[in-house]
Amino acid sequence: MKALGTALLGRRARLRWVHLILGGALLMPYWLLGTLVVAPFVDGAGMFTASPVVQFGAYGVALPLAAVTALFPLARPMSVAAARTLCGVPAERFADGPARSRAARARTAGWFTLHVGLGGLLSGASLALPPFAVTVMVVPLSPALRESALAAFWSLDQRWLVYGGVPAGLAMLVALAAAAAGAGALLARQAPLLLGPTPADRLAAAERRAAELAVRNRLARELHDSVGHALSAVTLQAGAARTVLDSDPGFVREALAAIEETTRRTVGELDAVLGLLRQGEDDGELTGRPGLETLDALLAATGRHVSLTVEGGDVTGVPEPVSREAYRIVQEGLTNAARHAAGEPVSVTIVRYEDEVEITMENPLPTRPPVARPGGGLGLRGVGERARLLGGTAGARPVDGVWRLTARLPLGKADR
């Protein structure tokens, strides 16, 4: 009995009943317009007549009108907001945003029509049936009421009221609650189908997630390359300075100056990346990112054992996206050399061809295999990702006793 009472009048049932009454309120303008259409065709009937023909005729006209207005894209978010609050359906089963596709608009129109259609019927019953049921229950208990105009207004048969009025009135109220609970449950079952995401919505959501993931990966590469290189360069310079602290003060001063310059530059790059993270968005460009024009400063801060060879013309005039990614590739190559072959000479060769830029970096292989770092190996993967973003290729492998990193970046696919 308790379960039945909860099903008919529990909190969820009451919220759904409110949702149905809201649907009845939304139907009212369409219904009034429907009466203007139907009333002239019924003899002697006016707009506010009690004629069932006019009432239900207006109802039949109102539903198609409601369906048409629900085809507008903004109808879905408004319907979702009400259903999410009142229907007791998990929020993640609803679609977000306006209905853009034809299928989404058709589903929204179906939902809105179902909502206002059931809501109109239940709202009318909720207004008319409780007073009638109370009258049926009270009239048998009061002879004065049985003789009053109230009983005559409801056209109540005095003979059966005396014995069956109270049960009949209670049955009417229970039937109303059951009808509201059933209609609310029907709406709750249909809500995910009609207001849930369509295949086009799922595809758009997947594309948004892919774009967000791409931005996150891009920012992760920026942090890895700039901060990782800075830490490796600072560690290398600090270690070298400690080794010759007493014997070569001039080198120590150079090392400290290189550490200062590296950390200052990296702090600026870090601020740019963290600024985007704080904003929660990416406008397509990371301002303040270095390019090939600042490559000399990068090599100077790395150490004495790095040589740069440029062939084929001035590489500072290449498109900006290629310049930025080439800088990061060289930076990552220097970071790997500092980690795995510290103190060994590194050669950097940049060749500008007519349609591409080729980067080659070589350093002797270490005498002992490098110690694997937890979470390591992301740098070379990032080099490959940067090259592929521009339509190029990149790879690294041992060749004739040296570690060689090669990247080819086409100039014709620089737009990103």
DSSP 344-362: S-EEEEEEE-SSEEEEEEE
Backbone angles phi and psi of 169, in degrees to 5:
-65, -45
Q: pLDDT tens-digit profile of 211-232? A: 777 767 777 777 766 676 677 7
Report pLDDT for 415: 44
d(CA 127, CA 395) in angstroms, rounded, equals 76
Q: Are residues 109 and 215 in the same domain?
A: no
Q: Are residues 298 and 349 in the same domain?
A: yes
Average pLDDT over residues 146-159: 54
209's CB contacts (< 8 A; 6+ apart) are none
- Domain span at residue 265 reads 205-410
Q: Are residues 293 and 367 in the same domain?
A: yes
Q: Are residues 93 and 156 in the same domain?
A: yes
Neighbours of 206 (CB within 10 A): 10
In single-letter form, the type of residue at position 382 comes to G
d(CA 105, CA 99) in angstroms, rounded, equals 5
d(CA 190, CA 208) in angstroms, rounded, equals 27
Q: Are residues 67 and 190 in the same domain?
A: yes
Q: pLDDT tens-digit profile of 293-317? A: 888 877 877 766 788 898 887 777 8
Residue 361 bridge partners (DSSP):
348, 405
Q: pLDDT tens-digit profile of 369-392? A: 555 554 555 677 878 888 888 889
Proportion of the chain above pLDDT 70, given as a percent: 79
CA angle in degrees (0–180, nearest 5) for 292-296-302: 115
Q: Are residues 191 and 226 in the same domain?
A: no
Q: Are residues 278 and 346 in the same domain?
A: yes
Last residue of a domain, one of 142, 168, 197: 197
Average pLDDT over residues 112-126: 94
Q: Is residue 63 part of a domain?
A: yes
Q: Are residues 118 and 236 in the same domain?
A: no
- b/e map 26-35, b = 16+ CB within 10 Å: bbeebbeebb
Average pLDDT over residues 42-52: 64
Last residue of a domain, one of 197, 216, 233: 197
Q: Are residues 188 and 217 in the same domain?
A: no
d(CA 194, CA 111) in angstroms, rounded, equals 6
Q: Are residues 331 and 371 in the same domain?
A: yes
Q: pLDDT tens-digit profile of 250-286? A: 878 887 887 777 777 776 667 666 666 655 544 445 5
Q: Is residue 416 part of a domain?
A: no
Last residue of a domain, one of 137, 162, 197: 197
Closest CA to 295 of 308, 284, 283, 278: 308
CB distance 387 to 408 below 8 Å? yes
Q: Is residue 359 part of a domain?
A: yes
Q: Are residues 60 and 164 in the same domain?
A: yes
Q: Is residue 235 part of a domain?
A: yes
State the total domains in the chain: 2
d(CA 390, CA 414) in angstroms, rounded, equals 6
Report pLDDT for 149: 47
Q: Is residue 127 part of a domain?
A: yes
Residue 275, Ramachandran bin (φ over 0: left; ψ between -120 and 50: alpha; else beta): alpha
At residue 313, the 3 state secondary structure works out as: coil
Q: Is residue 415 part of a domain?
A: no
Q: pLDDT tens-digit profile of 352-373? A: 988 899 999 999 887 765 555 5
State pTM to two decimals. 0.55
Q: What share of the chain is helix, strand, coil (3-state, %, to 5)?
A: 70, 10, 25
Q: Is residue 150 part of a domain?
A: yes
Q: Are residues 212 and 186 in the same domain?
A: no
Q: Is residue 99 part of a domain?
A: yes
